[in-house]
């Protein structure tokens, strides 16, 4: 190139070329490729905000001429200037121009310290390799997460269909039980009415036949009357028991004296069944002097011993038992239908991918507390002493319209002392397993949790891939 020039002349040409390269390098330092078009003019420079025109040699001359700081992208002259770190092999980014040549290495390619004494090393390649490895690991996790998500979606669809079929079956059972209830209620009422009517007829007929207040003793056995008077069931009747249950025929309010009671027992203070038949039983059957208190006409117990009445009462009791059995079954089915409808009414995601979380709980111990998240139900905090505090009950999805299923809101937990009601926001993040990863309390009684789960993995993350500038 310089074969035809003299040695001195060549030295001058080389110096001019090197100076030109240095000037160009100085002029474009701190500029991204997208902004290079503003710095191609060699005679003058128009401030990017269009406010001022200056000579081009005043660009990067360490003096701020433009209000927007665009004339000093490579120096610290302008307080609002920005320096572009190219960082080849890593992520490019801007730093405030005030950090240029401040003795601190901000750009991994060391381009911000071109005039300082700080020996900055170019670490972009190592940083890029490290970040690429991290991103590739994240991509592998994402790929596995998406595979598991699809599996959970398919399982959720099957579970949803099973629950719908179960609901239909339960509804049919409920309808059948309701029909049975209607029939059994009528049957129970009819049987009860028949038993009551028959009992009244039997009692009425016997009262009509013999209205004597003591005539019924003639049809009763001495054993049944003995048992009625033997209050303590010790196989004997005492004076006290006679005084308590036996009264004069004409005045039931009159209490027998001890002597009168002893006389009725044949002069004894205690008699057994055989002696009872020879003494008090004879007086009761005669009906001239004493009777058992409360006995008027035909006793209900005697009427209930009628075989026809017994059969009618037994039928009524069976009808009532059948009704109770079906009522219990109907109540059980009703509760199952209610719970199943409530479960099916919840929003489990656009593809019902979150359905598998229902009826599951996840725990995480943080310091002395154990936090438990039960998706679509509640959040609790358990202390070392065993006290359980509600941090909120299921409220709704709380994400933005574009990312609706990234956040869960649990609200109306227990009130804090001199503070608000406890609430919890659950952030869902992508991962290959479902687990509670962190719990924080950024403000008083307001909690934030992170729940990792495959169903939060999104294909868009994979499409984004590794940063294009790495």
215-271: pLDDT as tens digits: 556 667 888 888 888 888 888 999 899 888 888 877 777 888 888 888 888 889 898
Partner residues linked to 423 by β-bridges? 446
Residue 316 lies in a domain: no
Q: Rounded CA gap, 244 and 256, in Å?
A: 8
Residue 202 lies in a domain: no
Identify the pLDDT of residue 156. Answer: 86
Residue 21 lies in a domain: no
* CATH code: domain of residue 442: 2.70.130.10
Q: How are beta strands 93-96 and 82-85 bridged, if at all?
A: antiparallel
Low-confidence ranges of the chain (pLDDT < 70): 1-27, 41, 203-219, 287-288, 295-305, 460-470
Q: Is 45 exposed, middle or buried (0-12, 13-18, 19+ CB in 10 A)?
A: buried
Which DSSP letter does residue 80 get?
T
Residue 234 lies in a domain: no
Residue 375 lies in a domain: yes
CA 390 to chain centre: 11
Residue 263 lies in a domain: no
Residue 324 lies in a domain: no
> What is the number of structural domains in the chain?
1
Residue 53 φ/ψ, nearest 5 degrees: -115, 130
Q: Can you say whether the dihedral through the CA atoms of 35, 37, 43, 47 is positive or negative?
A: negative
Identify the pLDDT of residue 369. Answer: 94
161, two tokens: 């269909």
Which domain range does residue 406 map to?
355-456
Residue 361 lies in a domain: yes
Write down the residue that tokens 């679509």 correspond to.
376
């Amino acid at each position: 190139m310089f074969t035809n020039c003299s040695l001195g002349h060549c030295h001058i040409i080389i110096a001019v070329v090197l100076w030109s390269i240095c000037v160009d390098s100085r002029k474009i330092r701190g500029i991204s490729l997208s902004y290079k078009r503003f710095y191609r003019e060699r005679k003058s420079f128009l401030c990017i905000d269009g406010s001022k025109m200056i000579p081009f040699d005043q660009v990067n001359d360490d003096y701020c001429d433009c209000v927007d700081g665009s004339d000093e992208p490579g120096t610290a002259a302008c307080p609002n200037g920005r320096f572009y770190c190219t960082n080849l092999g890593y992520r490019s980014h801007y730093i405030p121009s005030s950090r240029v040549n401040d003795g601190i290495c901000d750009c991994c390619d060391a381009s911000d310290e071109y005039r300082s004494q700080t020996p900055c090393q170019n670490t972009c390649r190592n940083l890029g390799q490290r970040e690429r490895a991290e991103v590739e690991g994240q991509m592998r996790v994402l790929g596995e997460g998406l595979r598991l998500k699809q599996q959970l979606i398919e399982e959720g669809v099957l579970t949803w269909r099973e629950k719908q079929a179960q609901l239909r079956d339960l509804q049919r059972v409920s309808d059948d039980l309701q029909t049975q209830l209607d029939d059994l209620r009528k049957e129970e009422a009819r049987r009860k009415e028949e038993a009551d009517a028959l009992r009244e007829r039997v009692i009425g007929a016997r009262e009509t036949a013999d209205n004597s207040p003591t005539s019924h003793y003639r049809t009763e056995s001495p054993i049944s009357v003995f048992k009625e008077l033997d209050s303590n069931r010790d196989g004997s009747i005492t004076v006290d028991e006679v005084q308590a249950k036996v009264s004069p025929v004409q005045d039931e309010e009159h209490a027998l004296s001890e002597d009168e009671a002893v006389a009725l027992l044949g002069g004894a203070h205690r008699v057994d069944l055989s002696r009872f038949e020879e003494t008090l039983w004879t007086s009761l059957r005669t009906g001239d002097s004493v009777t058992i208190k409360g006995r008027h006409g035909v006793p209900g117990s005697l009427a209930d011993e009628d075989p026809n009445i017994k059969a009618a009462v037994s039928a009524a009791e069976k009808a009532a038992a059948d009704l109770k059995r079906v009522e219990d079954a109907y109540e059980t089915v009703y509760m199952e239908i209610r719970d199943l409808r409530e479960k099916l009414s919840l929003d489990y995601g656009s593809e019902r991918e979150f359905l598998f979380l229902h009826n599951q709980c996840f725990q995480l111990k943080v310091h002395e507390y154990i936090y438990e998240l039960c998706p679509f139900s509640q959040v609790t905090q358990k202390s070392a002493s065993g006290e359980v505090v509600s941090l909120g009950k299921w409220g709704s999805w709380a994400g933005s319209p574009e990312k609706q299923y990234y956040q869960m809101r649990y609200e109306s937990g227990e009130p804090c002392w001199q503070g608000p009601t406890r609430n919890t926001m659950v952030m869902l993040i992508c991962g290959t397993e479902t687990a509670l990863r962190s719990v924080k309390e950024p403000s008083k009684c307001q909690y934030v949790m992170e729940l990792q789960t495959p169903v939060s993995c999104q294909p868009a993350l994979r499409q984004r891939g590794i940063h294009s500038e790495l």
